[in-house]
Amino acid sequence: MPPEISQHLGQVSAGAGIGLSVVGMGLGVGLIFASAIQSVARQPEMAKQLTTLMYIGMALVEGMALLGVVFCYLALKG
Amino acid sequence: MNSNFDLNEYIMHHVLNSHEWLLPFVSPIPLPGVLTSHALMVLFGCTIILLLFLVFYRKNERVPTGLTNCLEALIVFVRDEVAIPNLGEKDGLQFTPMLCTIFFFILTLNLMGLIPLFSTATANINVTFSLAFLIFVLLVFGTLLRNGLKGLIPFFIIIEIASILVRSVALMIRLFANMIAGHMVIMSFLGLIILFGWVAFPAIFLAVFMYCLEVFIALLQAYIFILLSAVFIGQMYHPDH
């Protein structure tokens, strides 16, 4: 494979990696918020505890996905 | 389209650490020796926290007003919402000062990154590593002191230490990635303006929107960091429930 094609392939795959990370993050955070909203609608008195749990879950999902985004960006740069 | 402009270079220049202090409207000030811009920001952040709590915090007021009230609300929030529910009554009160210190440190550095004069020190993995290392040391040696060796042997000591290591690394990566990603998004929106000229004018509104989101994320990440630290410490200190 000529070197310029492999370099472009690397850039394309790094960009696709950013997109895939964001798809995963969107799915995960969407599921978490959806179930939190449903639970609060069923039991409004649990809202305070559920908000804390929701933020923990959101941070856990988002952190790993953002790691993917940042590392893909660094790969794109190199 | 401005073809001489390198968007990557522009973003990295604004996000990464450097040996000069970047200022708006004037040329950057070179910093001496080992001092980098993020180290300078950490020093500034510590100065701000010390000033806030030693000078502006009026301890003798019976009914707190103004800035004292604001700071006290945050401290009571950390104590009642984070420390005591996760660590129990006695340990929670003991750990509140440490959690408050980490909370205000991260919050100050995160919010300082949004002011054009300063740069974000928490978008540097070395800073977040040292914060997470504190938690790691506390989780290992605190549990050893508190529960003895049996605190670390629910499974095997190596697996236990590996799980502590993974949690601390996740803490480190989360704060770092969140802060650096937000700033990279803002910088790429602003870079579009330099790249395309007047056509990219609406990018300003996107950048302002991201900026507002960043203020929320700055608060949220400081909260999440101490919340997860408290949860992990609570799990290690009280393994039976």
Query: Cα-flanking dihedrals φ and ψ of residue B59, to 5°?
Result: -75, -25
Chain B's closest residue to A51, CA to CA, is B81
Contacts of B223 in chain A (CB under 8 A): 55
Q: So what's the ipTM on this one?
A: 0.72
pLDDT of residue B88: 85
Do the domain assignments include residue B6? no
Instruction: Give the pTM.
Output: 0.86
Provide the domain limits for residue B26. 16-237
- Interhelix angle A47-77/A3-42, rounded to 10 degrees, is 180
Question: What is the spatial distance between Cα B172 and Cα B45, in angstroms, rounded to a whole number?
Answer: 19
Query: What DSSP string runs through A2-42?
Result: -HHHHHHHHHHHHHHHHHHHHHHHHHHHHHHHHHHHHHHHH
Residue B240 confidence (pLDDT): 66
Spatial contact of A33 and B194, defined as CB atoms under 8 Å apart: no
Measured between beta carbons, which residues in chain A are less than 8 angstroms from residue B184?
70, 73
Tens-of-pLDDT digits for all 241 residues of chain B?
677 778 778 888 888 888 888 787 888 888 887 888 899 999 999 999 999 888 888 777 777 778 888 888 999 999 998 899 888 888 889 999 999 999 999 999 999 989 888 888 898 889 999 999 999 999 888 888 887 776 666 667 788 888 888 888 888 888 998 888 888 889 889 888 888 888 888 899 999 999 999 999 899 899 999 999 998 898 888 876 5
The residue type at B186: I
Q: What is the pLDDT of residue A4?
A: 82
User: Quick one: angle between helices B125-137 and B157-196, nearest 10?
Assistant: 160
**Contact of A19 with A73, CB cutoff 8 Å:** no
Say if CB B47 and CB B56 are below 8 A apart.
Answer: no
Residues of B in contact with A66 (CB under 8 A): 174, 177-178, 181
- For A28-49, b/e burial (b = at least 16 CB within 10 A) is bbeebeeebeebbeeeeeeeee
Quick check: helix, strand or coil at residue B241?
coil
Q: Which pLDDT value is given to residue B7? A: 79
How far is the alpha carbon of A2 from chain B, nearest alpha carbon, in Å?
A: 25
Asked if B181's CB is within 8 angstroms of A66's CB, the reply is: yes
The length of chain A in residues reads 78
How is domain A19-77 classified at the CATH fold level? F1FO ATP Synthase (1.20.20)
CB contact under 8 A, A67 and B12: no
Tally of domains within chain B = 1
The predicted pLDDT at position A78 comes to 62
What is the rounded distance in angstroms from the CA atom of residue B205 to the CA atom of residue A7?
Answer: 34
Phi, psi for A35 (deg, rounded to 5): -70, -30
For the CA atoms of B151, B155, B156, B160, the dihedral, rounded to the nearest 10 degrees, stands at -60
Which of B29, B221, B63 lies closest to B132, judged by CA?
B221
Asked if residue B1 belongs to a domain, the reply is: no
Query: Using an 8 Å Cβ cutoff, are B170 and B146 in contact?
Result: no
Rounded to the nearest angstrom, the minimum Cα separation between B70 and chain A is 21
Does some domain include residue B5?
no
pLDDT, residue B135, reads: 93
Going from N- to C-terminal start, the domains of chain A cover: 19-77
**Tens digits of per-residue pLDDT, A20-72?**
999 999 999 999 999 999 999 999 998 888 888 888 888 788 878 888 887 88
- Return the pLDDT at B103: 94
Q: How far apart are CA B52 and CA B192, in angstroms?
A: 38
Query: How many whole angstroms separate alpha carbon B53 and alpha carbon B59?
Result: 9
Taking CB atoms and an 8 Å limit, are A66 and B224 in contact across chains?
A: no
